[in-house]
Structure 1
Amino acid sequence: MSVWLECDNCGTEHTIPERADEPGSGTVCPSCGERPYTVRRRGLVWHPDP
Protein backbone atom coordinates (compact mmCIF):
# COMPACT_ATOMS: atom_id res chain seq x y z
CA MET A 1 0.00 0.00 0.00
CA SER A 2 1.50 3.35 -1.05
CA VAL A 3 1.48 6.15 1.52
CA TRP A 4 2.19 9.83 0.96
CA LEU A 5 1.53 13.18 2.61
CA GLU A 6 -0.51 16.08 1.24
CA CYS A 7 0.13 19.53 2.72
CA ASP A 8 -3.08 21.07 4.10
CA ASN A 9 -1.65 24.55 3.47
CA CYS A 10 -0.44 24.43 -0.16
CA GLY A 11 -1.53 20.98 -1.43
CA THR A 12 1.98 19.71 -2.28
CA GLU A 13 2.20 15.90 -2.24
CA HIS A 14 5.38 14.25 -0.98
CA THR A 15 6.56 11.03 0.63
CA ILE A 16 7.37 10.66 4.30
CA PRO A 17 10.94 11.95 4.66
CA GLU A 18 13.78 10.38 6.62
CA ARG A 19 14.75 12.67 9.48
CA ALA A 20 16.82 12.69 12.62
CA ASP A 21 14.98 11.68 15.80
CA GLU A 22 15.28 14.98 17.65
CA PRO A 23 12.88 16.30 20.30
CA GLY A 24 10.68 19.03 18.89
CA SER A 25 11.36 18.12 15.26
CA GLY A 26 8.66 16.89 12.95
CA THR A 27 7.48 16.56 9.38
CA VAL A 28 7.10 19.82 7.48
CA CYS A 29 6.14 20.53 3.87
CA PRO A 30 9.25 20.83 1.65
CA SER A 31 7.52 23.57 -0.38
CA CYS A 32 6.03 25.95 2.20
CA GLY A 33 7.45 24.74 5.53
CA GLU A 34 4.06 24.38 7.24
CA ARG A 35 3.25 21.42 9.50
CA PRO A 36 -0.42 20.49 8.91
CA TYR A 37 -0.76 17.58 6.51
CA THR A 38 -3.08 14.73 5.57
CA VAL A 39 -1.85 11.14 5.14
CA ARG A 40 -3.09 9.57 1.90
CA ARG A 41 -3.08 5.85 1.12
CA ARG A 42 -3.52 4.08 -2.18
CA GLY A 43 -5.18 0.66 -2.14
CA LEU A 44 -7.10 1.13 1.11
CA VAL A 45 -10.32 -0.90 1.04
CA TRP A 46 -13.13 -0.42 3.54
CA HIS A 47 -15.01 -3.53 4.59
CA PRO A 48 -18.73 -3.33 5.44
CA ASP A 49 -19.96 -4.60 8.81
CA PRO A 50 -20.89 -8.32 8.67
Structure 2
Amino acid sequence: MTRKQISAQYGVDTKTLRKWCERGNIKLPNGMLPPNQVQRIFETLGEWGE
Protein backbone atom coordinates (compact mmCIF):
# COMPACT_ATOMS: atom_id res chain seq x y z
CA MET A 1 0.00 0.00 0.00
CA THR A 2 1.18 3.53 -0.66
CA ARG A 3 0.89 6.66 1.46
CA LYS A 4 -1.50 8.06 -1.13
CA GLN A 5 -3.83 5.06 -0.79
CA ILE A 6 -3.83 5.25 3.01
CA SER A 7 -4.45 9.00 3.03
CA ALA A 8 -7.36 8.50 0.60
CA GLN A 9 -8.95 6.03 3.04
CA TYR A 10 -8.76 8.67 5.78
CA GLY A 11 -9.93 11.39 3.39
CA VAL A 12 -6.89 13.59 3.99
CA ASP A 13 -3.87 14.82 2.07
CA THR A 14 -0.61 12.86 2.20
CA LYS A 15 1.01 15.73 4.13
CA THR A 16 -1.65 15.42 6.81
CA LEU A 17 -1.06 11.67 7.01
CA ARG A 18 2.66 12.32 7.43
CA LYS A 19 1.99 14.76 10.29
CA TRP A 20 -0.35 12.29 11.98
CA CYS A 21 2.29 9.58 11.70
CA GLU A 22 4.91 11.89 13.18
CA ARG A 23 2.60 12.55 16.15
CA GLY A 24 2.05 8.80 16.51
CA ASN A 25 5.83 8.23 16.40
CA ILE A 26 5.62 6.25 13.14
CA LYS A 27 8.40 6.64 10.60
CA LEU A 28 7.25 6.22 7.01
CA PRO A 29 9.79 4.59 4.69
CA ASN A 30 10.12 5.60 1.05
CA GLY A 31 8.17 3.67 -1.58
CA MET A 32 5.62 0.98 -0.90
CA LEU A 33 4.82 0.42 2.76
CA PRO A 34 5.29 -3.13 4.04
CA PRO A 35 2.17 -4.84 5.49
CA ASN A 36 3.42 -4.62 9.08
CA GLN A 37 3.89 -0.83 8.70
CA VAL A 38 0.39 -0.44 7.22
CA GLN A 39 -1.09 -2.42 10.11
CA ARG A 40 0.74 -0.24 12.63
CA ILE A 41 -0.58 2.92 10.95
CA PHE A 42 -4.17 1.67 11.11
CA GLU A 43 -3.77 0.52 14.71
CA THR A 44 -2.35 3.88 15.77
CA LEU A 45 -4.44 6.22 13.66
CA GLY A 46 -7.62 4.15 13.34
CA GLU A 47 -9.65 6.26 15.72
CA TRP A 48 -8.47 9.51 14.12
CA GLY A 49 -9.72 8.60 10.67
CA GLU A 50 -13.08 7.19 11.75
Q: TM-score, normalised by structure 1?
A: 0.21
**Greater percentage in strand:** 1
**Greater percentage in helix:** 2
Q: TM-score, normalised by structure 2?
A: 0.21
